[in-house]
Every structure is written in structure tokens, then in C-alpha cells.
Structure 1
């Protein structure tokens, strides 16, 4: 996708193939099928994924936390903060990224590495629908590719919109003024439910967000990447 955008992605490294908990990670099965020449893509040779993460001061985690858990346990790691899409702090349900590797999530939050986390209770307040996708689709090759991926997902889910969970997590880092945070401590139970205790602690969760500006800013960033802004 970065090649369609005319940009370099930097090192691309495959992470661990098995979760720490032994749980199989669910995939829909259609991920990446629209990407041009995907079978020709290559990972960066000679780079260890855990060492790469451990050498980074800031990590954005938008999937199961298997690799991050191993990285924060390395003595002398450089990670100063991580931004995570995961959990549901309304306790209404468990969430895919956390429950895919509960043992890894427990390790990450027990490590005392500062983490800023947005859960389903906040991300599901925003959606991108048909009008937005039409705008993205008109923004050149990258826009058409992204719009195709979104519509493919809608068809799979039998819906006409989707929640931009992961872009919202990135936006916590780049546009923090759009969010309200609470400081405290996150714990994960054996069933994958996330619990937050406010007060002193190394963690922050999103307790509110600008439901108009967050999706607008996400779309603006997409259009800029497409060269339309």
C-alpha cells in the first residue's frame, strides 16, 4: 500500500507466528487480496522483530500484543510509551486484540511501560460511511485502493459503514487535543476483559473524544496521503 502512495515504509518485519497464550488469532480471510502484487512483497532481511520494537521509543500497537510483550521484557529496551487500540473499559465485552493473546496483554500492562489506550467503548462512537468513502475513492490510486478495501469489509460484515479503530489509536499520538484521558492502571483478567482503576499509575485510557473532529481528521489525513490535500 505504501508503494501505491509513492512512499517508503521503512523496515517491514514479520512478528511471532504464535501467540504467547497459544490462542489462534482470527482473521476474516480477505485481508490484502486487493493489494497489487502482494505476492511479490518481501520482509526486510536480517531484522529481528522484537529487537526492532525494543529499540523504538514510541510504539503504536493495533493488533494482539504478542510482540510488544516480548519487547518490553527485554532488559534495556528503549520503549518510553506505547499507544494501544484494545479493550473495552465499559466492561460490556471482551475485545479482539486483547483476547487474541491475553497472556501478552497482561505482560504489557504489568511492565509499567506508559501506555495510552483507546477501547471499543470509545472507538465505536465514530463511523465512516458511504459519502466519506466516495470522497476517498476520488483521491487517486491510493484512494481507490482504500475505498475498495473498506467496501470489501462492509460486504463481509453486511453493513454500510465501519469503525476506524486503528486510525483513532494513531490519532491519540498525533492529535491528543481531540481526546479526554484518565490516568490510572489497567488490568486484564483471564477472560480478556480490561479493567481500569483511576489514580496513580502508568496508564491512560480515553474517556471521551470529539465525535465530529476525530473522523474528520482521519479522513483529512487519508486524503493528504493520497495527495488530495
Structure 2
């Protein structure tokens, strides 16, 4: 069993990733940390607690950073993709539980230091919490087992600009700090996540079970698929960005990687957040996912999520 912290900006695919992780016996979820990104950190924290209640899970939730590491946040929240509430307009009432008082960065540091070489962090939002933890305790770079990041677009175009993927674009300075830290990292970006596809037929299968969780996730994801119209070419569906990062934490063989040094553009506004990979260099230490066994991953995801 692997000790895991899941770092989320809980929108729709974050919620699917959370359900996948919570239902995977290979992972012991030590806690969920939240960050701004798809929505505000307050909404991400609220949504995480709501999703965990749907999952009948009492995993502790630790609120994190509300804004980028060192600049004003100018990117609009992605309500057109994730709904006004961040979960496909399925929010009805707050969860019965409250978040923890400890902050996300402090919790990440504490768990890595208490379990040296055993904690994997799966980050599926902006990397601000991870960067803050490194700033506070740089030694965790050597103590973490691995950081799996859903972010970046090393060999393909971006999704929020022609150059940048949304999580990196939301805080390029944090991404630059983390990717340059020397920490063992697997980067699961648009290079592979756009090759995964959940379809409307899968949502119909979920609804056929008539469970409260299945209906909640199906209705939420239906909004996401609507936002994906024109992006997905083969019928109605959506990419499983964040769940694939969880899948790689469970089974790294879902993807094929190559070692790169990855640089993040932090100054040029037109290409802000662009992730450039340099392959043939002694500094290459980041495992960048370049190919994915999409069918095998999808089958595994579907066997666990509901």
C-alpha cells in the first residue's frame, strides 16, 4: 500500500480522481489538500468535503493556498468548464464535516517528514501548495517518494492558451520552482491525458446502477462533457485528466515516460506557462509521460470509480 496525499482544486475531473483514489486499495489516502485553480480554494475545500461525503469517506481535508506564489491571479475561474459551483452545478448543501485547521503546506511537510521515502503526492491543480512546502522545508525534496503532477504540455499545444496547460498557467512560478527542485517527479500532461476518453455511454451505465453516488458523478460529469463539445472529435465525452494522474500513482505502467528537464515560461506573457522539455541533458530528472495505454487505464478507472 502506498501513502498518498491528493492535492486538488476540486472541479469535476478532480472529483472523479478523488473517487478513483478512495476506491483503490493500493492507496492509503493520508489527506486531501486543496488549492485555488478551477475555483476558489474555499469552494474547492467545500466541494472536496461534499464529494467525500458522497463517497462515505472521512479522509481529512486541509485548505491550502488561495492565490499564486508571487503574482496576482488574473486567470478567470473555469466555471464554464466545471459549473458555477465547480462540480457541474450539483452542490446542494454543505457537508456535515469541517476542514482541518492545519494548512495544506504544513500537512504535506509533516507527512513527508514522518514517513520519509514513503509519501507520494498526487497534484492535480496548480502547484502552489507544493511550492510553498518546498520553500518552508527544502529538505522534503529528498524525503518525498514521488510527486505525480497532472500538468503541462511538453510535446502538444496547451488548453488554456496555445502554449500552456491550465494548472501550470495558473501559477507558473510555483510550477517552475517545483519542476526545478530536483524532486522525483512524473509529469502527466496533455501529452497523454487528451488520449483518454470517458463517453456518454459510460455515464448511462453509471445511471443504470441508480446509486446515489453514480447519479451524482454522472450528472456532474454530464456538465463537463457539454463543455467538451468541439474538443472531443469522436462523439460526446471528456478527457480523464486528473484520474490518469491517480492511475499512474497506482500503476506507473499505464504510461510510457522519458526523462526530461522541464522549464516553465514565467516572463513572456504570450507564452506564459509553457512547459519546454529538454531531453538530452544531465539535468533530466522528470519522467514525462509521452504515451498511455488508454484502454487498460479506462477499464481500471471504470472498475473502481463507482
Alignment TM-score, normalising by the size of structure 2: 0.67
**Contact 2:61 / 2:100 at 8 angstroms: preserved in 1?**
yes
1:31 aligns with 2:86: yes
- Report the 3-state secondary structure (helix = DSSP H, G, I; strand = E; otherwise coil) of the residue aligned with 1:183: strand
**Contact 2:85 / 2:91 at 8 angstroms: preserved in 1?**
no
CA distance, structure 1, for counterparts of residue 152 and residue 255 of structure 2: 17
Which of 77-86 and 103-112 deviates more?
Answer: 77-86
The residue correspondences of 1:54-133 to structure 2 (distance < 5 A) are 54-55=109-110, 56=112, 57-75=119-137, 76-77=139-140, 78-93=143-158, 94-133=164-203
CA distance, structure 2, for counterparts of residue 120 and residue 5 of structure 1: 28
Q: CA deviation at 1:48?
A: 1.9
CA distance, structure 2, for counterparts of residue 132 and residue 44 of structure 1: 35
| Matched residue, 1:175 | 251
- Report the 3-state secondary structure (helix = DSSP H, G, I; strand = E; otherwise coil) of the residue aligned with 2:157: coil
Deviation digits for residues 174-201 of structure 1 (CA, Å, limit 9, x no counterpart): 0112211111211111211111122443
Q: CA deviation at 1:129?
A: 0.6
Which of 89-98 and 154-163 deviates more?
Answer: 154-163
- The equivalent position to 2:274 in structure 1, one of 193, 209, 212, is 193
- The equivalent position to 1:161 in structure 2, one of 214, 218, 237, is 237
Q: CA deviation at 1:80?
A: 3.1
Q: Structure 2 stretches of 5 or more lacking a match?
A: 1-50, 113-118, 159-163, 231-235, 267-271
CA distance, structure 1, for counterparts of residue 166 and residue 213 of structure 2: 27
Deviation digits for residues 144-177 of structure 1 (CA, Å, limit 9, x no counterpart): 1100110122234446211110000111110112
| Matched residue, 2:68 | 19
**Contact 1:59 / 1:83 at 8 angstroms: preserved in 2?**
yes
1:43 aligns with 2:99: yes
Deviation digits for residues 132-152 of structure 1 (CA, Å, limit 9, x no counterpart): 111222341111110011012
Q: CA deviation at 1:126?
A: 1.4
Count of matched residue pairs: 221
Q: Structure 1 stretches of 5 or more lacking a match?
A: none
CA distance, structure 2, for counterparts of residue 205 and residue 92 of structure 1: 15
| CA RMSD between the two structures | 1.9
**Contact 1:91 / 1:195 at 8 angstroms: preserved in 2?**
no
Deviation digits for residues 17-48 of structure 1 (CA, Å, limit 9, x no counterpart): 11123223522123134144226552112x12
Q: CA deviation at 1:2?
A: 1.9
Which of 136-145 and 58-67 deviates more?
Answer: 136-145
1:204 aligns with 2:287: yes
- The equivalent position to 1:184 in structure 2, one of 260, 283, 299, is 260
